[in-house]
Amino acid sequence: MTQQLSTAQLAATALLVLLAAGLSLLLELRIARPLLVAAARTVVQLLLVGMVLQSLFAQEASWLTLLVMTLMLGAAAHETQSRQQRRFAGAWSIALAGLPVAMASILVTSVALATLQPARLLSPLVAIPLFGIVLGNAMSAASVTLNTFTTTLLRERASVEARLALGATRHVALGAVRRDAARNGMIPIVNQMAAAGVITLPGMMTGQILAGMAPVDAAKYQILVLFLLAGASALAVAATTYAAAWRATDARHRLRLDRLRGA
Amino acid sequence: MLQTLSLQRLHVGPIDLEAAAGTCVAIEGRSGSGKSVLLRMIADLDPHAGDAALDGELCSRMPAPRWRQRVSYVAAATGWWHDTVAPHFADLEGLRVLLPRVGLPAEAAGWEVARLSTGERQRIALLRALTPACRVLLLDEPTSGLDAESTAQVEGLLHGELARGTIIVMVTHDPGQAGRLASQRYLLADGRLHENML
């Protein structure tokens, strides 16, 4: 069933990226360099991951699966943190970026594995791709949420402080900021589910159909995956807003922007 | 009675201050001398050393929101969390009565915050702090953006609050205002309060 792509076929699609870069140079959009770097990273990273997965699948070792997952979590935490315009000072920066993502991905992947019941629970063939897609979405949702939270908080500082000064609790005073941040974090997955099949064919389903799976079966898998992603996004977003609000204030209900670097 | 007990933060303090019910303390001093820092410490809005007490009840012994419902800070730069004026107030009837007392029409309750002038915001933010629970007003330059007539109206309102037993601690750059309202006047310099009897 599965058909293999030739290097020539891949190279043909790479022409599109080169074309986009050329267009950027022509129009002075200044995205040629980041675009080419990102494209090169895609090639190197995905091929490397493909090779790693192939050797992992050959091993079938649970401890290796867990090790790879841990490395992925570390990379996700680093990536979430590095996408922030404003960061919390010290080790909190990485903790606030990483822990909500880790919690959401581990929880949702566990639910997924319990539901799918693969022959072996920690078989890398199922666990790692599943964990990867869940982690990626939780990471995007959390990083958008955290970024919106800090930038909105700095912009709305006078409003939050005015509420605190009149005796509002930090929960009430930060309510609007938390809701804004959560909404922004959830928009991508909500849009993705709303548009799925009508405006776009999700990437995973497209890939499976191209690789030869029956469309209805591919659709069922896609629905399952979208639900997992929605759950992971919501958990990551909720945990991020909670943790960020907790760290941006203190037990005496004071706004602690001094804990934000460069604020 | 409001007492501050060795309040200290950054270059300000330790500050010991006492104000009896129905009296006003005016604090003058150059920009950057820490006047706002002092008011924010009394409201417990920034981390600090020392404590404050209202009628013997320590700030540190009660939840901060309850303290700030009684001891409310009104910043020089106002903050808003709804689009129009009215939703910022719990008591709309009270608002309609108070607005004319600071030279604004009762319809101002329906105005959009974004279209208010600095002086209008300043007066409405002051009214917002006049809640039944409020016992101490910490005012940061309450009339800095106002003309002489509006300033007189705000001072009239504050006199009324003092008569009801409210304590006011105000930062002002207007020696005349300090003279009209305050029974204690201090100059904040080098982080310390100096009696200011000009």
Q: Would you state the pLDDT for residue A247?
A: 94
On whether the CB atoms of residues A87 and A81 are closer than 8 A, the answer is: yes
Residues A72 and A157 in one domain: yes
Higher pLDDT, A262 or A151: A151
Check CB contact under 8 Å for A253 and B65.
Answer: yes
Closest CA of chain A from B31, distance in Å: 20
Average pLDDT, rounded, for chain B: 94
Do A100 and A163 belong together in one domain?
yes
Q: What pLDDT was estimated at residue A7?
A: 87
For chain A, list residues whose CB is within 8 angstroms of any CB belonging to chain B.
156-169, 176, 250, 252-256
> What pLDDT was estimated at residue A123?
83
Q: Does the ipTM exceed 0.85?
A: yes
Is the confidence at residue A235, as pLDDT, over 80?
yes
Q: What is the pLDDT of residue A117?
A: 86
Please say if the pLDDT value at position A120 is more than 90: no
Chain A residue whose CA is closest to B68: A167
Closest-CA distance, B134 to chain A, in angstroms, reads 9
Determine, for residues B79 and A255 on separate chains, whether the beta-carbon distance falls below 8 Å: no
The backbone torsions φ and ψ at residue A260, rounded to the nearest 5 degrees and listed phi first, read -100, 130
Nearest to B3 by CA among B47, B53, B57: B53
Provide the pLDDT confidence category of residue A230 given band limits of 50, 70 and 90.
Answer: very high
Chain B residues with CB-CB distance to A160 below 8 A: 79
Q: Do B81 and A166 touch (CB under 8 A)?
A: no
Q: Report helix angle A175-195 to A124-155, nearest 10.
A: 140
Report how far residue A237's alpha carbon sits from residue B165's, in angstroms, rounded to the nearest whole number: 47
- Is the pLDDT assigned to residue A80 strictly greater than 50? yes
Segments of chain B scoring below 70 in pLDDT: 197-198
Same domain membership, residue A248 and residue A147: yes
Are A66 and A131 in contact, with CB atoms under 8 Å apart?
no
Query: Is the same domain home to A183 and A67?
Result: yes
Which of A1-15, A45-59, A171-185, B40-54 bottoms out in mean pLDDT, i.e. has the lowest?
A1-15
**How far does the CA of residue A177 sit from the closest CA of chain B (Å)?**
10
pLDDT at A89: 87
Statement to judge: residues A34 and A155 lie in one domain: no
Clarify whether residues A85 and A53 are in a common domain: no
**Mean per-residue pLDDT over chain A, rounded:** 90
End-of-domain residue from the set A59, A76, A97: A59
Which chain A residue shows the shortest CA-CA distance from B73?
A: A165
Q: How confident is the model at residue A208, as a pLDDT?
A: 87
Q: What is the pTM of this model?
A: 0.86
Domain boundary among A40, A59, A78: A59
pLDDT of residue B197: 65
Mean per-residue pLDDT, A79-85? 86
* Residues of A in Cβ contact (< 8 Å) with B129: 166
**Are A153 and A254 part of one and the same domain?**
yes
Contact state of B45 with A165 under an 8 Å Cβ cutoff = yes
For residues B163-184, one letter each, b for 16 or more C-beta atoms within 10 angstroms of the residue's C-beta and e for the rest, the string is eeebbbbbbbebeebbeebbeb
Let me know whether A154 and A234 are in one domain.
yes
Tell me: do A103 and A198 sit in the same domain: yes
Question: From the list A157, A162, A167, which residue is nearest B65 (CB)?
Answer: A167
Structure tokens at A123: 């078989």
- What residue type is assigned to position A158 of the chain? A
Show the DSSP H helices in chain A as ranges. Answer: 7-27, 32-59, 62-82, 92-116, 124-155, 157-165, 170-173, 175-195, 203-210, 215-247
Averaged pLDDT, A175-179: 95
Q: What is the pLDDT of residue B148?
A: 93
CA distance A100 to A196: 27
A164 contacts in B (CB within 8 Å)?
A: 45, 65, 68
Whose tokens are 């209805």? That residue is: A216
CA A165 – CA B57 distance, rounded (Å): 19
Q: Using the 3D structure, point to which of A59, A80, A102 is the last residue of a domain.
A: A59
SS3 A113: helix
Whether the per-residue pLDDT at A153 is higher than 60: the answer is: yes
Domain that holds residue A23: 1-59
pLDDT for res A200: 74
Judge whether residue A205 has pLDDT over 90: no
Q: Which residues of B touch A (CB under 8 A)?
A: 43-47, 63-70, 72-75, 77-81, 125, 128-129, 131, 133
Judged by CB atoms closer than 8 Å, whether chains meet at A166 and B44 is answered as no
> A96 and A5: one domain?
no
State the Cα–Cα distance between residues B37 and B15, nearest whole angstrom: 11
Q: How many distinct structural domains can be found in chain A?
A: 2
CATH number of the structural domain spanning residue B72 = 3.40.50.300
Does A160 contact B79 at a Cβ distance shorter than 8 Å? yes
Residues of chain B contacting A256 with CB distance shorter than 8 Å: 47
Please check whether residues A38 and A101 belong to one and the same domain.
no
Grade residue A74 by pLDDT with cuts at 50, 70 and 90.
very high
Q: Of the candidates A211, A190, A217, A215, which has an alpha carbon nearest to the alpha carbon of residue A201?
A: A215
Predicted local confidence at residue B62, as pLDDT: 96
What is the structure's pLDDT at A61? 83
Considering only the beta carbons, identify the residue of A159, A162, A252 that sits closest to B64.
A252
Q: Please answer whether residues B188 and B23 qualify as being in contact, where contact means their C-beta atoms are separated by less than 8 angstroms.
A: no
Whether residues B68 and A166 touch (CB distance < 8 A) is answered with: yes
Claim to verify: residue A149 and residue A246 sit in the same structural domain:
yes
B79 and A254 in contact by Cβ < 8 A? no
The answer to whether A159 and A96 have CB atoms below 8 angstroms apart is: no
Owning domain of residue B120: 2-195
Check: CB of residue B149 under 8 Å from CB of residue B103.
yes
3-state secondary structure of B173: coil
**Measured between CB atoms, which of A158, A167, A250 is closest to B68?**
A167
- pLDDT > 50? residue A1: no
Q: How far is A168 from chain B (nearest CA, A)?
A: 6
